[in-house]
Structure formats: C-alpha cells, structure tokens
Amino acid sequence: MSGLVRDPGDSGQPIRWYRADAIAVGDQELQHSFAVIGERLLRDWPVTEVSTMATADLDVLLAAGPELILIGSGLRQRQLPPPVLYHGLSQGVGIEVMGNDAAARTYNLLLAEDRNVLAAFVLPAI
C-alpha cells in the first residue's frame, strides 16, 4: 500500500520550517514577506500587514495563475479588506487567510496533492 501523501519535494518547494520572523522554503531561509507556487518564489512581496493589502498586492499573486491562494497573515489569523477578497473571488480563485503556521501546513499538504496552490506569507519588516 502506498502512502497517503507523497513526498512534497516531487512537485515544488515545500515549507520546511517557520518561526515568527522567518520561514524556510526548500533550502532558502526568508525573512521578508514572500509568495511561493510550485518551483517559483516571489522573494520580495511588499505586504507587511494583511489588513492594509490592496488589490494591486493581490494582482501580483493572481498573475501566477493559481487555483487557490493561501495567505499566511503572521502569528494570528487576520482578515483581508473586503474589496481585496472580493477582487480575488471575482477572478475565480479561492482565497484562504490563516496564521503562518496553518498556511505552511496547508500549503505542504496541497503541494503533495499536486494542487496548483500559491502561498503568500506576511513576515514583519526588519
């Protein structure tokens, strides 16, 4: 019998670990907000607070063509401004906002299922 979840390294860059001030994607430690989809990494996503996101910030993520966007909002779950959420949903893309820890776990699970998922993580500006 095969395992229920295959090795996430087969289909993209998994999240290896996370702390309040950094997240490791593949073999890279990132200390600024970023997004990842498959093998692609957007290293300098300029968002430092989910509650102040604009539709232009979301458009950067939508341009990657995901079917689902996970937004890690930091240590705690925050809400997107309603116009930003509506903008994403009107493009036919699912959006979920959760703390960075939950977003990392969810991203790895969906990556292992070969889903076209993008995860964006908000990290505090240093």
Span 8-44, pLDDT tens digits? 445 689 999 999 889 999 889 999 999 999 899 999 8
Span 56-113, pLDDT tens digits? 999 999 999 999 999 999 888 899 999 999 999 999 999 999 999 999 999 999 999 9
Q: Is there a domain that residue 5 lies in?
A: no
Q: Is there a domain that residue 73 lies in?
A: yes
Q: Is there a domain that residue 78 lies in?
A: yes
pLDDT higher than threshold 50 for residue 125: yes
79 within 8 A of 126, measured Cβ to Cβ: no
Supply the CATH number for residue 115's domain. 3.40.1230.10
Range of the domain at 75: 10-121
Q: Is there a domain that residue 16 lies in?
A: yes
Number of separate domains in the chain: 1
**Considering the entire predicted model, what is its pTM?**
0.88
119 within 8 A of 104, measured Cβ to Cβ: yes
Q: Is there a domain that residue 2 lies in?
A: no
